[in-house]
Structure 1
């Protein structure tokens, strides 16, 4: 008995564990969506395809399971591109069905014709076209298998007329999941043990690749009396219940994390591909353990590179190393970290009821949100407030755009997270720039009954860009935003909406917003003149900011410069 290609694709996706598909119906995918209508696969009707890709990525990042999005030919599929890049770089197993024009029109510059493969090969672990109906199940299964096992996006290209083709579908192609365990050879582990024995000040630096080896990483730090520094993406699982934690490294990090990395004589990097060379130590020996050989030494020169899973590698290493007794390096880092936390808590004290600092907003949310809430944040300053002021506890989840650095990712990703785990509190920290970029899908929250809670940090500007310009010694230009009252806009779309303009009204409004049974938006007017302070302020940054001040005064904007100083340095 023959079956249509559409039905084969949908059945294969269901067998692979997919629960829903995000997209906009029409044109070349009508037969595909009709097959979905008759299947257990739910269709999530978004208003912009980029939101669909971000939502699918949010779902898959949270669950580790396959999610799907599908687009019509030409602009329909192209609108997915940024969300696909974001999801792929996050390691989310998403499968995109990118439809194409009918085969008989190819090569003739037909309307909406484009080369899908050339576009998607650069942001996928698998990209192939179903060229014959008999390939439908095999290629779809291979795509799902690649997405799930290689942890990235897979793309299946299908011509519009191919969806209607019929195939015998006799062979039982299936999706296989594997859990390989790899570790370095004995000689390599012996060499690492020698480096550890020779070192006096060891720091462990762990990233997202250490997720499955979390306990082993903490145990290693304990045996070596080493501070454990984590990347921003590893905050979720390394910040809590970790007596060796001293925070984060990098521009969004803290002083203790920065110093622990720079003051060591041996840095052991576990599952991290942290990209910024200037935050690696200049004089220490560096060891890097990663599952990808191409990651070894690509960010900073290293003395030893090992390929292996963090957990398995450390299990094999621990019997080879003797416990360290000198905890001077660790104590120094922990003392600095305690000071960092005191300074952080001080910045969240609200001194003026008429001025709302974003740190205070994030700290209030941290206190009022559920203990197992899932958080997303837009690229830019909302991401900073989440990473610095929302605390991990082993139950909370965090997703930010740290690798792709996109705007408007937060509440679209939250859509997929909320659909994947109904009943869990899902909160999106959005900037006003990000919100206004993709705010049409507020309607999706209502139409699909997705109870996402959106917190808008409304400072009337592209705040992170403004900060970048000032640190470069430039006058901030073209960053101002003329915003609506987001709470009224939300209400017009059918959401709960509330607005806060004074700090003393924040807590009560946040209680009502979080308690609302359904999608809700809280619009908070926060201070525009806010700096994101790095863990170490360089002399060049001070000089550049002084240049900004001089230019501001000469251009009649002295009040802005004085406000910047008052809100950030005179508090």
Structure 2
């Protein structure tokens, strides 16, 4: 503990990266951040516990990430990993001194370099650590990262949530942002693996009462609706009328469509918001990054609202962005299951906060192959769909 305190005191710039292990240590993390002037980034599983009402928040890292978290991690003199087993080592620095606090010894140092390790509960550790560290003499680093974060939120993250009510095709970012605004303050959101993870990570606002549940450890597809049905059963057993909302992709829903029958049979108050782009968006993105044109990722254009209606579930298919908010409000007001089938832009991509040279080369190679293969129109359409979403210095 003393070694960690000395390392923090010796570092001019400290960044905290928090995971799910800070669930019961929120106050302790913020107290340490305030004392040492540290920006606080987080993983997806840590987001709901540490982001809200956090004056030191700089967002998420990773392909799903946003904000200034990546800059804060790489520009630090010391990176302090708290309760996180963040697996995407390509987004973690190998040239920044790193300390890790975790209750599980097997997680120590298995993702990135490790200079200092403290095995223990995050809350208990920080209660002992914080009194031992010196107060920061300057808040220049955290202030700079906060400004970067605010700029990023107004750029990449906010690109398709403003002035888009009359633009077609519907951008999924707009749908997620509208859902965030109309859903309940204690809603339970379940999210499909893939692009729905991205939209949930960037646009659903935690507040200490909301939950976001997904297959975050396993990455299993088609999890949103089964998770939502389970959450609705649990809420019913507890005598709660808590909203349960499934952010589902058409790929995931098509795999376990029978779960719609379950929701209808038990009259579960589950609202399914379907991001229907008739493609496996995350797979498509991964192929583009690796320099491969999309192949085998498209699926049939299915009217899932009609499928739900055939099962007796109130449903609506939305193709006009001006209708999105009303459709969501009406679905959330239903006493039982409901489905909103939103036809979204299949070319919309999740652009990470920092694009590497390798990713640029991959995109360029993939688009070149698209053009040489006769897909000039597809390449132009993809550029148009994402031009506003490209990070700018």
2:136 to 318, 324, 329: 324
1:315 match? 127
| Correspondence for 1:472 | 290
Question: Conserved in 1, the CA contact under 8 Å of 2:73 and 2:92?
Answer: yes
Q: In the alignment, what sits opposite 2:8?
A: 196
Q: Distance in 2 between matches of 1:311 and 1:507?
A: 40
**Pairing 1:356–2:356 present:** no
Contact 1:265/1:283 (<8 A) preserved:
no
**Residue 446 (structure 1) aligned with residue 264 (structure 2):** yes
1:419 to 204, 221, 233: 233
1:255 to partner: Cα distance: 4.2
Cα-to-partner distance string for 1:142-181 (whole Å, 9 max, x where unaligned): xxxxxxxxxxxxxxxxxxxxxxxxxxxxxxxxxxxxxxxx
Q: Tell me the TM-score normalized by structure 2.
A: 0.95
Q: CA deviation at 1:282?
A: 2.6
Please give the alpha-carbon distance, in whole angstroms, between the structure 2 residues aligned to 1:462 and 1:379: 10
TM-score (norm 1): 0.66
1:568 aligns with 2:386: yes
Tell whether 2:187 aligns with 1:365: no
Corresponding residue for 2:324?
Answer: 506
The number of residue pairs the alignment matches comes to 383
Unaligned runs of 5+ in 1: 1-188
Shift >2 Å, 4+ stretches? 351-354
Q: Tell me which structure has the larger Cα radius of gyration.
A: 1
Deviation string, structure 1 residues 220-247 (Cα, Å, up to 9, x no partner): 0000000011111011111101111111
- 1:87-106 equivalences in 2 (<5 Å): none
- Structure 2 partner of 1:408: 222
Deviations 1:391-417 (A, max 9, x none): 111111111222211110001001111
Instruction: Quote the offset at 1:570 in angstroms.
Output: 5.0
What is the root-mean-square deviation of aligned Cα atoms in Å?
Answer: 1.2
The verdict on how the C-alpha distance between 1:241 and 1:406 changes in structure 2, with shifts beyond 3 A counting, is same
How far is the alpha carbon of 1:347 from its aligned partner? 2.2
Task: For 1:281-292, list aligned pairs within 5 A.
Answer: 281-292=93-104
SS of alignment partner, residue 143 of structure 2: helix
Structure with higher RCO (Cα < 8 A, 6+ apart): 2
**1:244 aligned to 53, 56, 60, which one?**
56
The one of 524, 538, 542 equivalent to 2:356 is: 538
> Structure 1: how far apart are the matches of 2:324 and 2:23?
35
Following TM superposition, by how much is the alpha carbon of 1:195 offset from its aligned partner in structure 2, in angstroms?
0.7
**Equivalents in 2 of 1:385, 1:295: separation in Å?**
28
C-alpha displacement of 1:346: 2.8
SS at match of 2:25: helix
Q: 2:35 aligns with which of 223, 235, 254?
A: 223
Deviations 1:438-481 (A, max 9, x none): 00121111112211100110001111111111222212111111
2: CA distance between counterparts of 1:222 and 1:371? 27
**Mapped contact 1:432–1:483 kept (Cα < 8 A):** no
Q: Point out where structure 2 has 5 or more consecutive residues left out of the alignment.
A: none
Shift of 1:351: 6.0
1:346 matches 2:346: no
2 CA distance for matches of 1:471 and 1:313? Answer: 40
Aligned partners of 1:245, 1:291: CA distance in 2, in Å? 24
